[in-house]
C-alpha cells in the first residue's frame, strides 16, 4: 500500500522482495540493487488523430534486471497505466523468468491510452512512436517486448516493422507475440492459460485430488482465462463462474451457471476485449452477478486472471471455506495482507510468477525460433512448455515442503537466489 492508503503495485512488489531478502539473509548490496530497476525510460508519443488534432501519449519502459539475459516483458495499453505499475511488473518479470529457469531478465512497458477509444490507425501510430523512442534501447540482445493488457499480435507486428525500418534489416527476435507466419510461435496464444493449468494439475496430484472432482471460479475472460478454462475442462474440471469488464456500463460482471459454464457458447458472445454480452448470456441461462462475486463462490479452486489487487484484506474473508487452491493467472492479484489470511487458512497458493510464467516461457521459445529462423509444430511447443512449467512447479513445491514455507515465499527464494547469484558471478555486486 502507498502511504496515502491507495494501492501501489511497486510498493507491493518491493514488500514481497524485502520479506524474502530477510528470509534468505540477502546482503545489503544485493538488496539495494535488486529492489530497484536498473534502467527506466519515460517518453512522449505525439500522434495526429483521425480528426486532425495532435494528442500526446505518455509511455514507459522499465528494465529491472538483465543479469541472466536480455530483458523480457509485455507492453500494456491502459488508461490508468502508471510508472509504478510498470516498475512492479518489470520486477515480477525478473522473478518469473528466473523461476522457470529461462535465460532472460525482467522488463515491462506501458502507454497511457484507451484502445477502446482509438482507431486502428491511431493505435498503429502509438506503436510506431513507442519503438521510435526506444529503438536504441531494445532488441534481440537487449530487451524483447511482447503483448500485454489491451495489446495484440497486430500491435507487435507494427512495432517489429518499425524496429526493422530503423535498423535496416530483419530482426524477428526483437519482439515476441507476433502473428504466426510473421515470426510468431504456434502455441503462444494458449501458453499463459495452459501454463496455469499445468501447474494446477501438478498441485492437484500433490494434494491427491482428481480434477474431475473439482469446481472453479475464474476472474476475467480474456486470453489467459479462456485458455485456462479450456485446458481445465479438458482435464476434467468444471467452471461455474467467470467475470469480465463491461465497457458500456464501466463495471465488472460475473456470469454464473451452477451446473457449469459452456466455454464455446460464452466465447461466441464475447468481444475482442473479453467482454460478454449480458442480454445474450441471460438468454443462454446465465445469472449476471456483481463483479466481485467471483471470489465468494462455493468452489475448490479460484483462478484470478484479470488485473492486480483483486484479492485484498477487504474481500479475502468472503472466500468459501471449500477453497483449496488459488492459481494466479494475473500478475499481482493478491495483496500481502490477503496473502497472510490465505496462508493462515492453509490454502495451496500457486503464485503468479510461477503459475502464469507459461506466457514468457513461450515468448522465449518464439525468440529462439525467430533467431534461428526455424519454427516448431504446435505439439512440440506445448510439450516443451509442459516440461518447463512442471519442472518449475516441482522445484518450488519441493523447497516449500523441505523448508515448511508458503509456496509464494518458496518461489521467491528460488528466483531471487538465481538472480543474485548471476549478479555476483558477473561481479556486479
Q: What is the distance between the alpha carbons of residues 360 and 378, in angstroms, rounded to a whole number? A: 16
Q: What would the DSSP string read from start to end of 22-66?
A: HHTT--HHHHHHHTS-SEEEEEEEEEE-TTS-EEEEEEEEEEEE-
pLDDT tens per residue, range 388-400: 999 999 999 999 9
pTM of this prediction?
A: 0.91
Give the three cell numbers for residue 166: 530503423
Q: What would the DSSP string read from start to end of 143-161?
A: EEEEE-TT--HHHHHHHHH
- Domain membership flag for residue 76: yes
Q: What is the distance between the alpha carbons of residues 331 and 22, in angstroms, rounded to a whole number? A: 23
| Mean pLDDT score of the chain | 95
- Domain membership flag for residue 264: yes
Q: Are residues 159 and 197 in the same domain?
A: no
pLDDT at 295: 97
Q: Are residues 160 and 219 in the same domain?
A: no
pLDDT tens per residue, range 34-67: 999 999 999 999 999 999 999 999 999 999 999 9
Q: What is the distance between the alpha carbons of residues 63 and 104, in angstroms, rounded to a whole number? A: 11
Cα 180 from chain centroid (whole Å): 21
C-alpha distance from residue 427 to each of 27, 234, 330, 421, 424 (Å): 14, 48, 34, 10, 5
* DSSP letter, residue 178: P
pLDDT tens per residue, range 280-335: 999 999 999 999 999 999 999 999 998 778 999 999 999 999 999 999 999 889 99
Q: Are residues 247 and 302 in the same domain?
A: yes
Share of the chain above pLDDT 70, in %: 98
Q: How many Cβ atoms from other residues are within 10 Å of residue 318's Cβ?
A: 12
Instruction: Find the range with the poorest average confidence among 4-13, 137-146, 316-325.
Output: 4-13
Q: What would the DSSP string read from start to end of 384-397?
A: HHHHHHHHHHHHHH
- Domain membership flag for residue 330: yes
pLDDT at 211: 98
pLDDT at 271: 83
Q: Domain of 338?
A: 190-355
Phi, psi of 215 (to 5 degrees): -130, 140
pLDDT at 201: 98
Instruction: Find the range with the poorest average confidence among 179-183, 249-253, 282-286.
Output: 249-253
pLDDT at 250: 75
Q: How confident is the model at residue 272 (pLDDT cuts 50, 70, 90)?
A: confident
Active site residues: 108
- Domain membership flag for residue 23: no
- Domain membership flag for residue 44: yes
CATH number at residue 141: 3.40.50.10860
Q: What is the distance between the alpha carbons of residues 217 and 283, in angstroms, rounded to a whole number? A: 21
Residue 88 has pLDDT above 90, yes or no: yes
- Domain membership flag for residue 90: yes
pLDDT at 427: 98
The residue-averaged pLDDT of 217-223 equals 94
Q: Are residues 129 and 210 in the same domain?
A: no
- Domain membership flag for residue 272: yes
- Asked if residue 332 lies in contact with residue 309, where contact means CB atoms within 8 angstroms, the answer is yes
Residue 247 has pLDDT above 80, yes or no: no
Residue 8 has pLDDT above 80, yes or no: yes
> Bigger pLDDT: 274 or 373?
373
Q: Are residues 347 and 315 in the same domain?
A: yes
Q: Are residues 159 and 201 in the same domain?
A: no
Q: What is the distance between the alpha carbons of residues 2 and 16, in angstroms, rounded to a whole number? A: 14
Q: Give me the number of domains the chain comprises.
A: 2
Q: How confident is the model at residue 4 (pLDDT cuts 50, 70, 90)?
A: very low
Give the three cell numbers for residue 118: 482509438
pLDDT at 245: 82
- Domain membership flag for residue 52: yes
Amino acid at each position: 500500500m502507498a502511504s496515502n492508503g491507495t494501492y501501489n503495485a511497486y510498493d507491493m512488489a518491493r514488500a514481497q522482495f524485502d520479506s524474502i531478502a530477510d528470509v534468505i539473509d540477502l546482503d545489503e548490496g544485493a538488496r539495494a540493487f535488486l529492489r530497484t530497476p536498473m534502467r527506466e525510460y519515460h517518453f512522449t508519443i505525439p500522434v495526429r488523430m483521425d480528426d486532425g488534432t495532435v494528442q500526446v501519449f505518455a509511455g514507459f519502459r522499465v528494465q529491472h534486471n538483465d543479469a541472466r539475459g536480455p530483458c523480457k516483458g509485455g507492453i500494456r495499453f491502459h488508461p490508468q497505466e502508471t510508472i509504478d505499475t510498470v516498475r512492479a511488473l518489470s520486477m515480477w518479470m525478473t522473478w518469473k523468468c528466473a523461476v522457470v529457469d529461462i535465460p532472460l531478465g525482467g522488463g515491462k512497458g506501458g502507454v497511457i491510452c484507451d484502445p477502446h477509444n482509438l482507431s486502428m490507425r491511431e493505435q498503429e501510430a502509438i506503436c510506431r512512436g513507442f519503438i521510435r523512442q526506444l529503438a536504441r534501447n531494445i532488441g534481440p540482445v537487449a530487451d524483447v517486448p511482447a503483448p500485454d493488457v489491451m495489446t495484440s499480435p497486430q500491435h507487435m507486428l507494427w512495432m517489429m516493422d518499425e524496429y526493422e525500418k530503423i535498423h535496416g534489416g530483419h530482426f524477428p527476435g526483437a519482439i515476441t507475440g507476433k502473428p504466426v507466419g510473421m515470426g510468431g510461435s504456434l502455441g503462444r496464444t494458449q501458453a499463459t492459460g495452459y501454463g496455469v493449468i499445468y501447474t494446477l494439475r501438478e498441485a492437484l496430484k500433490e494434494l491427491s485430488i482428481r480434477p474431475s472432482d473439482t469446481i472453479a471460479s475464474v476472474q476475467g475472460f480474456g486470453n489467459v482465462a479462456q485458455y485456462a478454462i479450456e485446458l481445465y475442462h479438458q482435464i476434467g474440471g468444471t467452471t461455474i463462474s467467470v467475470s469480465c469488464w463491461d465497457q458500456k456500463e464501466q463495471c465488472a460482471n460475473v456470469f454464473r451457471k451452477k451446473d457449469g459454464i459452456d466455454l464455446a457458447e460464452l466465447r461466441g458472445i464475447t468481444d475482442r476485449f473479453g467482454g460478454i454480452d449480458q442480454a445474450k448470456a441471460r438468454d443462454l441461462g446465465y445469472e449476471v452477478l456483481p463483479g466481485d462475486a467471483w471470489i465468494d463462490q462455493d468452489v475448490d479452486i479460484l483462478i484470478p486472471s484479470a488485473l492486480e489487487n483483486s484479492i485484498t484484506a477487504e474481500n479475502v474473508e468472503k472466500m468459501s471455506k471449500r477453497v483449496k487452491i488459488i492459481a494466479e493467472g494475473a500478475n499481482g492479484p493478491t495483496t500481502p495482507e490477503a496473502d497472510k489470511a490465505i496462508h493462515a487458512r492453509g490454502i495451496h497458493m500457486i503464485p503468479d510468477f510461477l503459475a502464469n510464467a507459461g506466457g514468457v516461457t513461450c515468448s522465449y521459445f518464439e525468440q529462439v525460433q525467430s533467431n534461428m529462423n526455424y519454427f516448431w509444430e504446435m505439439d512440440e511447443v506445448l510439450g516443451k512448455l509442459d516440461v518447463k512449467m512442471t519442472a518449475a512447479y516441482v522445484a518450488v513445491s519441493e523447497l516449500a515442503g523441505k523448508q515448511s514455507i508458503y509456496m509464494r515465499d518458496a518461489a521467491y527464494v528460488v528466483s531471487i537466489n538465481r538472480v543474485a547469484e548471476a549478479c555476483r558471478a558477473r561481479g556486479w555486486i
